[in-house]
Amino acid sequence: MVAIKVTVDLDNKFRGYISGVIADIKDLRFSMGEGARIVKKGATANFILKGSGRYAPLSPKYKARKQILAPGAPILVGAKKGRTKAGKLVSGGGISARLRDSIIKTTGDSIIRIGKLSFEVGTSVKSSKGFPYGKAVQTGTSKMPARPYLLLTDPLVKQIINTIDDDIISILGP
């Protein structure tokens, strides 16, 4: 494979044009809102498809507790603390479906911020001990592998870029 290096020397006229375009694009809230919607739609599909086998299996110990506390719950939905039929207190370690619901719906735990040139999608869900639960699931911990639920796949990124492109074209005109 041969690498080819391309250098483009922008002339002053083109630089002026680009500077003008950037100055005209001050508010992309519409496409930022659409970008947030696209990310939430991708996360919703991920929760519905239960990660599609993308994640490491649950540890045997946690899997056994989860079967007691939340039988049939998918991998991205944690189990709360509870008692076995024999009355033994067990901890699921999770927050039930609050994480999922805060991402695929709009709840008190949802974080959705739409700015003029940016957007943020996330969750404020914390564990019973106050640890940011969403971060633990997304990035992993010393006891749990990462199970990212907010995914920026190539198709999602392309959708967001196309939405921003369309918004810019509508601002600048044909």
Helix (H) or strand (E) holding 154: helix 154-172
Total domains present in the chain: 1
Share of the chain above pLDDT 70, in %: 75
Structure tokens at 23: 């100055």
For 171, counting Cβ atoms within 10 Å of its Cβ (0-12 exposed, 13-18 middle, 19+ buried), the class is middle
pTM as predicted: 0.72
Q: Would residue 17 count as lying in a domain?
A: no
**Is a pLDDT exceeding 60 seen at residue 74?**
yes
Could you tell me the pLDDT band of residue 159, with boundaries at 50, 70 and 90? very high
Q: Would you state the pLDDT for residue 169?
A: 84
Rounded to the nearest 10 degrees, the angle between the axes of helix 29-48 and helix 154-172 is 160
Q: Would residue 55 count as lying in a domain?
A: yes
Q: Is the distance from CB of 6 to CB of 146 less than 8 angstroms?
A: no
Q: Would you state the pLDDT for residue 1?
A: 46
Q: Would residue 3 count as lying in a domain?
A: no
Q: Where would I find the H helices in 11-150? A: 12-24, 29-48, 60-69, 98-104, 133-139
Q: Would residue 121 count as lying in a domain?
A: yes
Q: Would residue 20 count as lying in a domain?
A: no
Q: Would residue 32 count as lying in a domain?
A: yes
Q: Would residue 103 count as lying in a domain?
A: yes
Q: Would residue 6 count as lying in a domain?
A: no
Q: What is the mean pLDDT of residues 63-90?
A: 71
Tell me which residue range forms the domain holding 51: 26-172
